[in-house]
Amino acid sequence: MDFRTPVIIPESTFRIDHSTGIMLFGSCFSENMGSKLLEYKFQANVNPFGIVYNPFSVAAVVNRLLSNRNFSGTDLIFHNGVYQSFMHHGRFSHPDKNKCMENISRMFAEAAAFIPRTDVFFITFGTAYVYKLKSTGEVVANCHKFPPDTFIRERLTVEAIVKEWSGVINTISALNPAARFIFTVSPIRHWKDGAHENQISKSILHLAIDELQEMFTSALTYFPAYEILLDELRDYRFFAEDMMHPSGVATDYIWERFCKTFFRRETQDAISEWNQISRSLNHVPLNESTENYRQFLKQTLQKLILFRQNHPRIDCRRETEELTKKIKQ
């Protein structure tokens, strides 16, 4: 007997491996998948503007990178004792204007340099609701706890999202015809919108992605993270304490489904090998001065060297240098 309703995911028309350049944009789910990709040594750039929830703000972020127009001090606002940008997540906010600008500019430069060698764009939409500045009509990525009357709250339409994103996809495809796009809808509920309004919002996002998929059949793939959590796992034990975000177990399971959908067998094998080495690298001994621990380090180094030989496309020079230094101490 099967007590689940597994989500059937069609086989991907393209594959991802450790030579693939991947950029991830959007809500918390992009952060979750991006963290996994980085953990397993993929070439990835994750949310260079921080977490962004609505389709218009995600599009604005990508367009800004495509135009390679970095930020300056005039793009910052000062509120509640910190400098911040309406296009960025609060993690960039800082009491020191120069440090705020430094963090924003550094992440932007890295991402702008990464875009030309990006093969796959991973996009997660979180909500169809946007907040516009009353003073300019600009859609903000983050309200930064400004007074509510600073903004006008609106719900995007399917047509508006499709129009905005078809333009983004066409621009990227003109620069790189081989670029591929993976779209997801975040399974995290925006409960502050209300239960019913959240469902309407998620439905709009699904419909917009479906239309984009029909327009860009060969380039765009939908990954059903939303359906896996809410229809297949479908149990509060797979949610974090806030009952909204997926638990670590749920994230790991969705990651497994992602791997099976987009990774070849050899890529999955490399992940499994690295996972064992990573555990050894992160091992904390009771006593670092023992000969047993020294031998353990040497054995781990040999495994690391062999891994590098078998997987030359995976960069683990930093780990090799750190381990060698630790052995010499």
Q: What is the CATH number of the domain that holds 97?
A: 3.40.50.1110
Q: Do 249 and 259 belong together in one domain?
A: yes
Q: Do 48 and 157 belong together in one domain?
A: yes
Q: Do 78 and 110 belong together in one domain?
A: yes
Q: Is residue 4 part of a domain?
A: no
Last residue of one domain, picked from the residues 263, 281, 309: 263
Place of tokens 């499994």: 272
Q: Do 153 and 269 belong together in one domain?
A: no
Cα→Cα distances 31→26, 49, 176, Å: 8, 11, 24
What pLDDT is attached to residue 329?
Answer: 80
Q: Are 292 and 263 in contact (CB under 8 A)?
A: no
Q: Do 186 and 322 belong together in one domain?
A: no
Q: Do 311 and 210 belong together in one domain?
A: no
Q: Are 37 and 118 in contact (CB under 8 A)?
A: no
Digit-by-digit pLDDT tens for the chain (329 residues) are 777 889 999 889 999 999 999 999 999 899 999 999 999 999 999 999 999 999 999 999 999 999 999 999 999 999 999 999 999 999 999 999 999 999 999 999 999 999 999 999 999 999 999 999 999 999 999 999 999 999 999 999 999 999 999 999 999 999 999 999 999 999 999 998 999 999 999 999 999 999 999 999 999 999 999 999 999 999 999 999 999 999 999 999 999 999 999 999 999 999 999 999 999 999 888 888 888 988 999 999 999 999 999 999 999 999 999 999 988 88
What pLDDT is attached to residue 4?
Answer: 82
Structure tokens at 247: 């638990």
Structure tokens at 4: 């689940």
Q: Is residue 2 part of a domain?
A: no
Q: Do 42 and 100 belong together in one domain?
A: yes
Alpha-carbon gap, residue 119 to 107, rounded angstroms: 19
Q: Which of 68, 170, 57 is nearest to 111 (CA)?
A: 68
DSSP state of 46: E
Tell the burial category of 240 from Cβ atoms under 10 Å away from its Cβ (0-12, 13-18, 19+): middle
Q: Is residue 16 part of a domain?
A: no
Let me know how long the chain is: 329
What pLDDT is attached to residue 3?
Answer: 77
Q: Do 86 and 181 belong together in one domain?
A: yes
Q: Do 259 and 269 belong together in one domain?
A: no
CA angle centred on 223, ends 217 and 229, rounded to 5°: 155
**Domain region containing 308:** 265-329
DSSP state of 141: S
Q: Do 256 and 184 belong together in one domain?
A: yes
Q: Are 316 and 297 in contact (CB under 8 A)?
A: no
- Cross-sheet strand order for the sheet of 151-155: 139-140, 129-133, 151-155
Last residue of one domain, picked from the residues 263, 287, 305: 263
Last residue of one domain, picked from the residues 248, 263, 278: 263
Q: Do 160 and 277 belong together in one domain?
A: no
Alpha-carbon gap, residue 25 to 27, rounded angstroms: 7
Q: Is residue 87 part of a domain?
A: yes
Structural domains in the chain (count) = 2
What pLDDT is attached to residue 205?
Answer: 98
Q: Is residue 202 part of a domain?
A: yes
Q: Do 38 and 184 belong together in one domain?
A: yes
